Structure 1
């Protein structure tokens, strides 16, 4: 038995524009603007067509369906990633810049969380940054499959730290939580755990954004320390 044939918008040449000023790139840029404003649930071919001043039907000349549009949008997301040339910077500097850049990119475009792991990353921007990251690990001294294992470990760390942060930011924005009441609720829940209660009290006046940044940096340094340790064993 054979499964459904896998297809991708990146496996064929883009169709030429049907009208002056209209192109696939223009459609993708408009889709990103719509996603930034309304999130994944707010993106539809009808809304996109209206934003572009054309009917949804005309968009299907450029993309076969919404899934293909999301493939294009996902690669546009990756176009926002840059990192130092692995041949000109230390591998820790290059890899660290990748990790910090990816976190900021996800926070800037929270809708990307819904595409990570779900939408194929086969476009030139995604492939290019992946190749650069692999080269950084190869120049560090990793070889064979360990290059990909290191790559996976790093991106999993970034996703694991950032995706819950996006979810919390969205929850706070959606419910308009008052910070003081949140701190009070957590302190009440931790009343029977003196060490936790002390930490919560100490963090009451801390800048949450700065705390998250420091937590991410600490974890990233620890991750890179662990990867570096594998190179000397």
Structure 2
């Protein structure tokens, strides 16, 4: 009865692109990218696949639209810092948290960085690089460094989340990391001395803290190379 009631309520609401994208996000969050099919989406919306195709051309377009919604929300919630550097850190963290909460967007952002979802991020960070004093000729290079790090970390975290789920859907992040740290610690000491040496750091690390540290390293380099000194 409850299922019938929910389906009736959904049928009573007019189907729109916004409703389709919202349902797609719910499906992606619960089933991942592989679980997003027009058949599953039609079932969730209590409609037929043909009605969905009227509003969305295909899965790629739907993924981009869903990613755009998540990124737009992240950018709207990102705090504006007192300085350009603080604002860049806040924007980067907003993307990190968005990918952490919705791992499926990591792959979409990496596949199409020139499409609208990442353009929102590029524009906001690019303006802060201008405010930081990075000269015009160096702005693309500075943005590219930040872009590569943000997208690379997002894609890696998304891949790790998928690997963790495939390896054992019942494990949490700490179990997954501890297993990886154990693997590193058991490596041949002559062939992998460095990796063995940081195994305990892997076990104890915090992804968010390490991400911010990486952003700071890049911003330190940008500031040292291009940004004029205060009062200079």
TM over 0.5: yes
Change (3 A) 1:129 1:187: closer
2:186 match: 188
2:158 match: 166
How far apart in 2 are the matches of 1:214 and 1:185?
Answer: 23
Q: 2:123 aligns with which of 128, 131, 153?
A: 131
Bigger fraction of residues in helix: 2
> Runs (4+) of structure 1 moved beyond 6 Å?
none
Change (3 A) 1:191 1:122: closer
1:52 match: 45
* Aligned: 1:213 with 2:213: no
Q: CA deviation at 1:26?
A: 0.9
Change (3 A) 1:186 1:72: same
Q: Please say which of residues 178-187 and 20-29 is displaced more in the overlay.
A: 178-187
CA contact (8 A) 1:70 1:119 kept: no
TM-score, scaled relative to structure 1: 0.76
Number of aligned residue pairs: give it.
208
Q: Where does 1:104-119 land on structure 2 (aligned, <5 Å)?
A: 104-119=97-112
How far apart in 2 are the matches of 1:207 and 1:166?
Answer: 20
Q: CA deviation at 1:77?
A: 2.3
CA contact (8 A) 1:40 1:114 kept: no
Change (3 A) 1:52 1:224: same
CA contact (8 A) 1:84 1:94 kept: yes
* Aligned: 1:223 with 2:218: yes
TM-score, scaled relative to structure 2: 0.76
CA contact (8 A) 2:135 2:226 kept: no
- Unaligned stretches of 5+ in structure 1? 1-18
2:91 match: 98
How far apart in 1 are the matches of 2:58 and 2:183?
Answer: 46
